Amino acid sequence: MSTATLPTPEPLRARLAAHIGELLRLAAPVIVSRAGLMVMMAVDTAIVGRYSAQELAYYGLAHLPGNIMVGTGVGLLMGTVMIAAHAFGAGNDAECGRAWRRSIPYALLLGVLFALVSLPGDPLFQAGGQTPDMAAGGAHVLAVLGLGAPGMMLYITTGFFLEGIKRPLPGMVAMVIGNIVNAALAWALVWGHVGLEPLGAVGSAWATTIVRWGMGLGLVAYVWWMRDHDRWQVRLPVSDWWSGAARQRHLGYAAGLSIGVESGAFAALGLFAGMISPLALAAYTVGLNLTALPFMAAVGLASATAVRVGVAFGRGDRSDMALAGWTGLGVTSAILACVGILYRSLPEALGAIYTNDPELLEAVVPLIAFAAWILIADGGQTVMANALRGRHDAWVPTALHFFSYAVVMIPVSAFLVFGLGHGAHGLFEGILIASLVSVTILSLRFARLSRR
């Protein structure tokens, strides 16, 4: 082969630089949007935690199934961003708009189902080994959170459409405004300020529900009235929202099951924590919240990676598709390594943000320090899963997620907690082991498909 046919290092460096620049440009607003979900929870956790450790336990218990539903909804609606990105890469603007129009009734249907599932929380929690008091307190919070599910699903699917056409900024703006409003509402409702009755954890749930509806309806209104709405045909009626979206839902089924399995596994760990003690559940809630906050940055980078891979896949450019996936993994790992250094260095200061209870703070600090080891592996596995979905590899990542989090994490964590007596720390050890398994096997899958 002539050396003239070989790619030179300079073009490769230029392509890599272009990928990193485009990834960060797409990911920055998405990171704010995704991280905003966890910032909202972090603010609520801090407000409720400073109000009462017992109320924080109720809050944490309610968010175990609550997070499963939101995560599953994100996955089920992920077909919107995949189809929109693929159509955008192929230059089919009308199909981008059709993907969104078909997703709106589906999103509302999912939201209503999640709201109904949120009602029988008391027997659900008691079946999970919680005390009657814990079950009743958590059920009340969960029922209120469920009322906001349809609004949240509208926000997610509309944000996905905008990300697919490379316009993630409106979703970011909606999330920033939502966080500001949520903080003010939670402060007033939890503590009973400005003449209101203090509601504790239920107050934070009402604040979240109000804000989720505001963000969802606000983002839908933006798409409806954006200046070039005719280009995307977003105002045309849709009669085939179910029958015409089989491929879109198919991609979502796999992602929804994948995220649902992962969220369900983390919820099982929360139930384990509740079996130890309310204090352990409160500590797990804080520790997991601090782990999930930078993880949302990884989710944003993963979403941008899926778009970049999906666009390259739509063009039929195998080399660029592979480079997009590995660039996403590398950038995400570098960012989360920096966050991990911060967590190892300042666990006491970070824990003090959430609680002034000395006993709870003592339980939380070692979990925060250990979480630093989890971040890179956990962030890496979500990037590689989304890179595979961007390539329209739907069900294998789901199977690999099931193995990592249901087959590995749950039994390993149970053994570490109840067999070896590691307490809440054993839950985080189990998360680390499962995340390492997940990122390894997903990366191997992507490498194999990239060579085809």
**Strand (E) or helix (H) holding 289:** helix 278-315
Place of tokens 């300020």: 193
Are 231 and 57 a contacting pair, CB within 8 Å?
no
| pLDDT level of residue 353 (50, 70, 90 thresholds) | confident
Give the per-residue pLDDT at 136. Answer: 93
Q: Where are the domains of the chain?
A: 11-450
Are 204 and 59 a contacting pair, CB within 8 Å?
yes
pTM for the structure as a whole: 0.74
Q: What does the mean pLDDT of the chain come to? A: 86
Give the per-residue pLDDT at 449. Answer: 82
User: How far apart, in Å, do the first and last CA atoms of the chain sit?
Assistant: 21
pLDDT tens sequence across 222-255: 999 999 988 998 898 887 888 888 888 887 887 7
For 226, which DSSP code? Answer: -
| pLDDT level of residue 4 (50, 70, 90 thresholds) | very low
Q: Which two tokens stand for residue 277?
A: 């003690």
Share of the chain above pLDDT 90, in %: 37
In angstroms, rounded to a whole number, what is the distance separating the alpha carbons of residues 303 and 34?
A: 10
Give the per-residue pLDDT at 3. Answer: 45
In angstroms, rounded to a whole number, what is the distance separating the alpha carbons of residues 228 and 224?
A: 10
pLDDT tens sequence across 279-325: 888 888 888 888 887 887 887 788 778 877 877 776 666 777 788 88
Q: Residue 393: pLDDT above 80? A: no
Mean pLDDT over residues 58-69, rounded? 89
Mean pLDDT over residues 101-128, rounded? 93
Give the per-residue pLDDT at 110. Answer: 96
Q: What number of residues does the chain have?
A: 452
pLDDT tens sequence across 42-53: 889 889 988 888
Cα 317 from chain centroid (whole Å):
29
Give the per-residue pLDDT at 12. Answer: 65
For 392, which DSSP code? Answer: T
Mean pLDDT over residues 68-82, rounded? 88
271: CB partners within 8 A, 6+ apart = 64, 128, 129, 130
Q: Residue 174: pLDDT above 50? A: yes
In angstroms, rounded to a whole number, what is the distance separating the alpha carbons of residues 285 and 129?
A: 17
Rounded to the nearest 10 degrees, the angle between the axes of helix 347-354 and helix 9-51 is: 50
